[in-house]
A = this chain, B = another copy of it.
Amino acid sequence: MVCRLLEGKKGLIFGALNDLSIAWKVAERAVDEGALVVLSNTPMALRMGETHKLAEKLNTIVIPADATSVDDINELLSKTMDYFGGKIDFILHSIGMSPNVRKSKHYSDLDYGYLNKTLDVSAISFHKVIQSARKMDAINEWGSILGLSYVAAQRTFYGYNDMADAKALLESIGRSFGYIYGREKNVRINTISQSPTPTTAGQGVKGFDNLLDFSERMSPLGNATADECADYCLTMFSDYTRKVTMQNLFHDGGFSSMGMSLQAMQQYNKSFEYDKEHPFD
């Protein structure tokens, strides 16, 4: 389905690593829908990933930037506006990383240097991008900014570690800055709390596949895919949602509003059959 939802809009998209990335899908779909986009990623991600391939496909540019560096962000925003010949209409912040998760530091044995890194990369970078954009007046009136979150910001998932705290911080930053940028320039800021998604980042989470299964069975519509998330992001960038701001929007097939589904319980119940058959486990 394509209806030129973003005709004439210009967007800056962080975090398209490869074709599993939500940001990748958003970039593709935004262009389908009539938008111009600029892609950005860290130099390391650009080496490891395929962002340049996407840029080629979408006939656009990639601007390297470390989103924890205010200097990098300033330069990125400046170049992006040069490229567009004008201000930006929407920004997708799809950035997250925890060295504690990567190095298998348990939440009860966090390295605090790593924690600072987790928060800086995954949450404070959101503030930095917005603060710089506002100072440079880089976003058009009624522009739209999105961050990507996960329900772990509200409820604890074992193994998600300090990313849960980073997501809580990210959502709070969205609200805090949403107030200020909204009252001044009618720029809205929201986060989308997406189903667990088998991106390169998602797959790094411990026990991810089984969590995915549980989440699938708990959600009446099943887990939301990266493609579906992209479609939802488009509506939030479009002019149809101008008065939605400071919200955390669940895009998860219903998971966040479920306590227990029949399907998940039926699967769970089989575990008791297993226990009966393996009494000495």
Contact = CB atoms under 8 A, between A and B. Distances in A.
A201 interface: no
Nearest to A231: B240
A254 B178 contact: yes
A158 B265 contact: yes
A262 interface: yes
Residues of A contacting B: mostly? helix
Contacts of A265: 158, 207, 210-211, 214
A58 B167 CA distance: 41
A244 B232 contact: yes
Interface in A95-124: 107-110, 112, 115-116, 119, 124
A241 interface: yes
A220 B270 contact: no
Contacts of A112: 70, 124, 128
Interface string A207-231: 1001101100000111011001101
A107 B177 contact: yes
Interface string A172-197: 11011111111100101000000100
Contacts of A107: 176-177, 180
A220 B246 contact: yes
Nearest to A178: B254
A172 B259 CA distance: 13
Interface stretch (A36-44, A46-54, A271-279): A271-279
Interface residues of A, number: 103
B258 A245 contact: no
Nearest to A211: B260
Nearest to A4: B3
A199 interface: no
A258 B135 CA distance: 23
A261 B124 contact: no
Contact of A131 (B110, B127, B160): B110
Given A112-B128, A220-B246, A210 B3 contact: no
A112 B224 CA distance: 34
19 contacts: A109-B135, A156-B179, A156-B257, A161-B176, A167-B172, A168-B172, A169-B172, A182-B254, A183-B221, A183-B262, A207-B265, A214-B265, A225-B243, A231-B242, A245-B253, A249-B249, A269-B271, A271-B274, A277-B277
